Each structure stands twice: as C-alpha cells, then as structure tokens.
Amino acid sequence: MTSNSLVYLIALPLFGSAVLLLAGRRSDRWGHLLATALSAGSFGIGLMQFSQMLSRSNEQRAVSQKLFSWISVGSFEVDAGLMLDQLSICFVLLITGVGTLIHIYSIAYMSHDHDRRRFFAFLNFFIAAMLLLVLGDSYLNLYVGWEGVGLASYLLIGFWNQKPTYATAAKKAFIANRVGDMGLSLAIMIAFATLGTVSFAGVKEHASQASTGALTAIGIMLLVAATGKSAQFPLQSWLGDAMAGPTPVSALIHAATMVTAGVYLITRSNFIFDAAPTAQLCVAIIGAITLLFGAVIGMAKDDIKKALAASTMSQIGYMVLGAGLGPAGYAFAIMHLLTHGFFKAGMFLGAGSVMHGMDDEVNMRRYGGLSKFMPITFATFGLGYLAIIGVPPFAGFYSKDKIIEVAFNAGGIKGITLGVAALLGAAITAFYMTRVVILTFAGSKRWDDKAHPHESPFLMWGPMALLALGSVTSGFLFTHGDALRNWLAPVVEQIPAHEGELLSPMIVSILALVLVVLGVSLAVIKYFLNEVPETVPENVTIFTKLARRDLLQDAFNEAAFMRPGQSLTRALVKTDVAVIDGAVRGIARLASGSGKALRTTQTGFVRSYAMWILLGAIALIAAIWMVTL
C-alpha cells in the first residue's frame, strides 16, 4: 500500500524549522505558536494514519511512499522512501504526541528566554529528523534521520552555549554519538557488501542467505550504534552531561524519543539479530549491564535532572535487554519504551516545573517539602514515580515486569543471570526514585528564603497532567488482550509463549513487588525518617563516591581513549615535522642547493652561454668520434 501523506509528517515540522530559522527575529512573536501548530499538525496526520491503519486488516497495515530515487549507482539503488508500519506508527505517535505536549510546555517554560524562537526551530527540526529516522524504509534513510537527531541533540544541549560547560557537554554528546554513528555506517557498509542492499525489506529477504558471521558483524555494529545513541554501556557517559540543555529538551530528546532510537534500531533489525544469536546475546548483556549501571549512578546523584538521566539510562537498559531477548521480548521492549516515554517525560517536565519555581536550582538537597507549594507538579510527578517503580496498576508495572519475566524465561544460566540483574535493577530503581521524590517533595524545607516556590502556569502543568494520565493508563491499555503484542506481530515475528516457564508471571510480579517495597522502605528510612544534610556528606563508602563520579566512566574514557589519542596525535605531529616535513624540506634544500651551485654558471654573459653550446657540440662530435672508432 502506498500513501502520499507520509511525507507531510516530516515536511510540516521541517518547514516550521526552516521558517523560524530563516525569518529570524521577525518571527520572534509568533514563531513558537507556528512550531507548536505544525508539530500538532504532524500529530494529527499521525492519528489519521493510525485510524486508517486500524481499519485495515493486519497484513495490509504497512504503507509506504517513494519520494524520489536517491542513489542509483550500477546495481546499487536507494530510493528516498518512507514506510509506516505497526512499529513506526508507535514511534510516530509518541514523537509527535509527546513532542507537541513538550512544545506547549516550552511556550511557558522558555517564555523568558529571548532565544525562544531558535529553541522552537531546533525542536521542530528534531521532530522532523526523528520522524525521518523512524519512517525511513532503508538503513540509509534511517541514517539521515539518525544524524539529524544527533545534530538536533547537539544544538539543543548546547542551546545555552554562552556557558562553556554547556558547550562542552554538547560537544561530548556529539562525539560520543559519532562513535556510535561510525558503528551504524559500518553496519550499512557490511550489509551492502554482503547482502547488496540496504533497504529493510531487502536485508530481511536476503538475511537468510548470508553467513552467520556477516550477520553477527552487522548486528554488533548496529549494537554499537544503539549504545551511542541510547547511552548504553560503554558509550553512556554523555547522557548525564546532556542535562545541560533546557529541561523540555531533556524530556523530549534525552528521555522520551531520541535516546530510544537504539531500541528502535535493534527492534527494526530483528531479522538480523534473530539470525545472529551471538549479537543478540551481546545486546541483552549490554542492556543488563546498563540497567544496573544507570541505577547505581542514579542512587548517588543530587542533581535532580542527572538523577533522572541516570534513571533514563537504566530504563533504556531494560528496553535493550528486552530487545536482546529476541522475539519474546521485542514487543515488551517497545511497550516499555512507550510507557517510559510517558512517565519519564512527565517526570522531566515535573523536574522542570520544580526548577521553574525554584529559580533554576537543581540540587535536590536544597529542595524539600515542596508538595505544599506545587501540588499539581507533585501529583503528576508522583504518578510518574509510581509508574517507574512498577506499582500496579501503573504503566511501568506492566512493561517492566514483562521484561523481567521474559528475561527469566530466556532459559539456562543466561536467563537466571539476566533475570536477577533486572530484578535487582527494579529494587534499586525503587530506592533512588523514592529518594528523588522524598528529597524534592517531602521532609522539611531546605531552600533559601530568597526562593519563592510556586505552582507553574497551566501551559506547563497541562502537558504534565496528560503525560501523567498516560503513565497511569498506558500499561493497562497495551497489555489488555496483548494488544501491543498482536499489533506488532507482523513486524517482529512472534513465537508462542514458553511452555516450560521458569517462573510464572505471578511469581515474578510478587518478587518484583517485594523488592520494590524493600527499596522504597530503605529510601524512606534513610531520607524521610532521618535528617537530610544540606551539604553533600563526605564520609561515605567508596561505592557511593564511585557512583557520584559516574562509576569512573569519564575517567576511563579519558585514560583509555583521550590520553592515548593525545599521545598519538603528538607522535603524529612529530612524525609530520620530522619525516614528512623533513622530506619536503630536504627536497627543497636539495633543489635550492643545486640551484645555488648551478647559479654560478649563469653569468648573464651571452658569450659564456655560447661557450656552453660549443662545449656541447664538442661533446657531440666526440661521441660520434668514439662510436666510429
């Protein structure tokens, strides 16, 4: 099936971005409204497509649109084409829906920033790029969107680039993403070299003929790409610093949408990973490591946004784990992605609301007792909190428990290890999220008298409320009658549920709940019943110290890559100076030296030149004389 309206999904926000950037200050007064309207328009088209999709039978739901023939080199043909199937539509609705809410939120949040128009231009650009990422019908089209969101992320993290640390954070995010991007481009190249095509349909068709080794290589490279974009171990270090961007950006890009692109990529490439078990196992392991990694870091952060960022990292770890569990887990990974999109975006917006009321203070140790002053923020944040720690019947309960369950059922040592890791992560999540909520909203006030906490305007709490609603209901909606699983079935091939389940769903839920209660109680004891010091306590375990420093990831990167890189560069400079420049200068010196020597023969006197001619003639005659001897 084809549809001609797919392109407008992307074109509307792209147009908005172009208008806002080109019109300049002239559009300061109405630019944000245009951007929000266009984003909403895109959402409307998404909804329309969704309703049309619902009206068709399961096999007919995917639609595509060929825009133009992009690359045509011999047998290598790439069309700039769009494809909307059951997987893409989830993302389209999430991106445009949450994106529109965040546009609305930003109108109020950024109202005092005189660069608000530029901010909206970038936001619109991001929406367009992200839509291209999820709508592209080939890896190459996806790559364009992939780079586009990377650029948007860079621009928005460094939006307040007058602060050098923010600009550095943007650069760090960009560079870490480049490492991942290299993985994606390598994956595309390997796919082209071995399969001769880069479109999803073509790769899926030819994947069965390719060797497992090639598929594993593609899978590993795709995983590298995913770790970069989704802040997974070992490329996760940029996400914490990315919180330098305005809070709506953190909510939209670094919680709900862009960072989940890796999960999308893995799910989209399910045919590769299903045929390459080694790569799939790597995905699961990376996910498990990251979910613990992020959770541990989250326990130690005092910056509310950084704590939430660590939590994002951890939750995406769950998704990647789910995607790494194969056909059994794809649907739950996507489900967790969607629910996470709601509750984490809602919590970020809540955090933004708190900062808005507290003069941009981000240190949780200087909050406390804010529930009285910001009841709506507290309510929406609290609903998101209940969702993320997995309290039934909130969204996280459905999605996260399913991933834990699938992990346990993966079989053997692998299943037990991954399952235990996921369970442990759930407990830690409960602990640190409780910590965030208590430090922010409960207890006694620890802020200066200068701060005047107040509730945010409707434009801000409206989107928060809608997202909170999503946090409450989405899990139930998705799981009711296995709705999302059946919906996604044509894209990610399903296998029938395990016959010999290691643990039944009921036992998993109970185990998880017990651990969550444990985590919550620990946090309550430590932070609610005891006094919270306003300054950061120094007499803590080495474990906490490490967690505060992001488990030494930055130090490791610096020692393993930056310093050797610097040494390499220095060595290259020396080589350049000594060998290459030396050779060049040597040749030059040879030329100039011989020139100087030969210059003495150039007297400028015609007669001496005539003499040379005569000598030449003599040499010629002498040669004739010799050969005729």
Partner 1 sequence: MNAANYLYVSALLFTIGAIGVVVRRNAIVVFMCVELMLNAANLAFVTFARINGNLEGQVVAFFTMVVAACEVVVGLAIIVTIYRSRRSASVDDASLLKR
Partner 2 sequence: MISLAINVGQTQTPEAVLFWVLGPLAVLAALGMLLVKKAVHSALLLAWVMITLAIFYIAQDAAFLGIVQIVVYTGAVMMLFLFILMLVGVDSADSLTETIRGLRPIAIVAAIGFGGLMISLLDRATLGRQLVGLAAANEAGNVQGLAGLLFSKYVWPFEIVSALLITAALGAMVLAHNHRVIARPTQRDLATARFRSGSLSTAAGLPGPGVYALHNAVDVPALLPDGSASEASISATLKARGDVIDSRPFQLKELEEDK
Q: Which residues bind partner 2 (CB under 8 A)?
A: 603, 605, 607-608, 611, 614-615, 617-618, 621-622, 624-625, 628
Contact between 14 and 128 (Cβ < 8 Å): yes
Residue 604 interacting entry, from partner 2, partner 1, none, C-beta within 5 to 8 Å by type: partner 1
Alpha-carbon distance 627 to 629, whole Å? 6
Residue 542 interacting entry, from partner 2, partner 1, none, C-beta within 5 to 8 Å by type: none
Q: Which is nearer to partner 2, 578 or 622 (CB)?
A: 622
Minimum CB–partner distance for residue 598 and partner 2 (Å): 17
Instruction: Count CB atoms within 10 A of the CB of residue 617.
Output: 10
Q: Which is nearer to partner 1, 529 or 606 (CB)?
A: 606
Minimum CB–partner distance for residue 596 and partner 1 (Å): 14
Alpha-carbon distance 304 to 440, whole Å? 8
Q: Which is nearer to partner 1, 500 or 604 (CB)?
A: 604
Instruction: Count CB atoms within 10 A of the CB of residue 78.
Output: 19
Q: Which is nearer to partner 1, 112 or 607 (CB)?
A: 607
Residue 606 interacting entry, from partner 1, partner 2, none, C-beta within 5 to 8 Å by type: partner 1
Q: Which is nearer to partner 2, 529 or 629 (CB)?
A: 629
Alpha-carbon distance 269 to 277, whole Å? 13
Which token pair is 197? 């095509």
Three-state secondary-structure class, residue 67: strand
Instruction: Count CB atoms within 10 A of the CB of residue 167.
Output: 16
Minimum CB–partner distance for residue 626 and partner 2 (Å): 10
Burial classification of residue 151, based on how many CB atoms lie within 10 Å of its CB (0-12 exposed, 13-18 middle, 19 or more buried): middle
Minimum CB–partner distance for residue 608 and partner 2 (Å): 6
C-alpha 185, offset from chain centre: 16
Alpha-carbon distance 267 to 133, whole Å? 13
Contact between 146 and 268 (Cβ < 8 Å): no
Alpha-carbon distance 148 to 17, whole Å? 13
Residue 577 interacting entry, from partner 1, partner 2, none, C-beta within 5 to 8 Å by type: none
Q: Which is nearer to partner 1, 583 or 614 (CB)?
A: 614
Q: In the complex, which residues of this chain contact partner 1 (CB under 8 A)?
A: 602-607, 610-611, 614, 617
Minimum CB–partner distance for residue 568 and partner 2 (Å): 58
Q: Is the peptide bond before 393 cis (omega within 30 degrees of 0)?
A: yes
Residue 628 interacting entry, from partner 2, partner 1, none, C-beta within 5 to 8 Å by type: partner 2
Which token pair is 49? 């497509």
Q: Which is nearer to partner 2, 1 or 617 (CB)?
A: 617
Residue 625 interacting entry, from partner 2, partner 1, none, C-beta within 5 to 8 Å by type: partner 2
Q: Which is nearer to partner 2, 1 or 624 (CB)?
A: 624
Minimum CB–partner distance for residue 627 and partner 1 (Å): 19
Q: Which is nearer to partner 2, 542 or 626 (CB)?
A: 626
C-alpha 282, offset from chain centre: 19
Alpha-carbon distance 283 to 226, whole Å? 9
Q: Which is nearer to partner 2, 193 or 624 (CB)?
A: 624
Minimum CB–partner distance for residue 589 and partner 2 (Å): 29
Contact between 287 and 320 (Cβ < 8 Å): yes
Which token pair is 446? 């620890």
Q: Which is nearer to partner 1, 375 or 595 (CB)?
A: 595
Burial classification of residue 544, based on how many CB atoms lie within 10 Å of its CB (0-12 exposed, 13-18 middle, 19 or more buried): middle
Alpha-carbon distance 193 to 179, whole Å? 21
Residue 48 interacting entry, from partner 2, partner 1, none, C-beta within 5 to 8 Å by type: none
Alpha-carbon distance 475 to 394, whole Å? 6
Minimum CB–partner distance for residue 602 and partner 1 (Å): 7
Minimum CB–partner distance for residue 607 and partner 1 (Å): 6
What phi and psi, each to the nearest 5 degrees, are found at residue 68?
Answer: -165, 165
Q: Which of 58, 50, 19 is nearest to 35 (CA)?
A: 19
- Provide CB contacts within 8 A for 262, sequence distance 6+: 180, 225, 226, 227, 228, 229, 230, 232, 316, 320
Residue 529 interacting entry, from partner 1, partner 2, none, C-beta within 5 to 8 Å by type: none
Minimum CB–partner distance for residue 612 and partner 2 (Å): 10
Residue 68 interacting entry, from partner 1, partner 2, none, C-beta within 5 to 8 Å by type: none
Residue 622 interacting entry, from partner 2, partner 1, none, C-beta within 5 to 8 Å by type: partner 2
Residue 602 interacting entry, from partner 1, partner 2, none, C-beta within 5 to 8 Å by type: partner 1
Minimum CB–partner distance for residue 583 and partner 2 (Å): 38
